[in-house]
Chain A
Amino acid sequence: MRAHVLPVLTAALLMSAACLADSDAPPLAGSTWIGTPVSLNAVRGNTVVLIFWNYDTPC
């Protein structure tokens, strides 16, 4: 797949995504985890940083 197409695919729902500021963090529903799956519910008490990246993220 062309490199510029790859990130485009991730836009599935962004058109309708509402601003989530100050709302409950949605669960990370993914079927493929590298490492132990993390439930945001389990780490209440910590600050959580979600880092979104893809193959086209500049090195």
Chain B
Amino acid sequence: MARLAKDLEAHKADLNLTIVGINTTLGANEKGIRKEIEDHKLKPFATVHDRTGVICGEYGVKWKDLYTIVVVDADGKVLGKKPNMDDLPAAKGVLADVKVPSGAEAAARMFSLQQFGLMEQELVKLPPSADLKAFREALKKKIDDYTSKRLPQLTAMGETNPLTAYHEAAAFVTAFPASKEASAARSLASRLSSKPEVKKETEAETAYNMVVAPEVVKATTLAVYDKKVKPLLDGYMTRYGDTKFGGAVKAMHEVILNSLKGIKT
């Protein structure tokens, strides 16, 4: 991760940049990821565990690319992969219209990374002042503006793409637990989770992680895979093969099988 550390150091004060880590180790657990983050100083930005390879698939990231950077521009468009964080596109920045008081740069950076708990930790270190008060109010207004606009978007998304809306609503509640929209977002997530298409997808994920995944981690040879994993997988696919998650599992296991057979993919 030396390259990553160098990249991060070069951009640690960039308020117009948001970084998100995506851990792609399927056999990993949260404790292990936290340890890696600590060991390699992959913070203070957030990391999401791409447990199933779905994010990798959607962004076209290959497993052989052990360290991949994908850049998204200020309008939310994917610009593609880059070898490093040099020559990033210019952005106006989410805080372009906010005056950052001297000493509050770290708090502003945490806002840019959407790490609001860390932002608060930085803000409370600062001596009270009129500038700081105005800065706090500006940040709060930005968060309030976002949450008030986001809830109707999530509600509309629930009609057209309930599974994504469910995940986004759940993430919204975690990110903005104190917002006035949190309760409605929680209700929305709950309502969406009971929709048959969402329920079956979440069940498919839970079942895979509880039943199949523990055996996959132990299957280091084809013989063990055939004996321990295949029967479980066959049963799993019978029940969940028609889900989006089941489709990802099927593709994933084809790659695992080829790997165990020594076939390069």
The answer to whether B94 touches A45 (Cβ under 8 A) is: yes
Task: Report the Cα distance A53→B26, complex, angstroms.
Answer: 11
Q: Are B67 and A57 in contact (CB under 8 A)?
A: yes
A33–B56 CB distance below 8 A:
no
Which residues on B sit within 8 Å (CB–CB) of A20?
58-60, 78, 80
How many A-B contacts if CB must be within 8 Å?
A: 303
Contact pick for B20, options A5, A29, A41, A49, CB 8 Å: A49
List chain B residues, Cβ under 8 A from A16: 57, 251
By secondary structure, the A interface counts as: loop
Q: Mark B32-75, 1 if CB is under 8 A from A, else 0.
A: 11101100101111111111111111111111111111111111
Given A47-B71, A52-B68, answer yes or no on A10-B63 (Cβ-Cβ < 8 Å). yes
Chain A 10-29 near chain B by CB (<8 Å), digits 1 or 0 = 11111111111111111111
B residues within 8 Å of A by Cβ?
A: 1-2, 4, 16-28, 30, 32-34, 36-37, 40, 42-80, 85, 88-94, 96, 112-117, 146, 150, 153, 164, 167-168, 170-172, 174-175, 205, 216-220, 248-249, 251-252, 255-256, 259-260, 265
Binding site for B on A (CB under 8 A): 1-2, 4-59
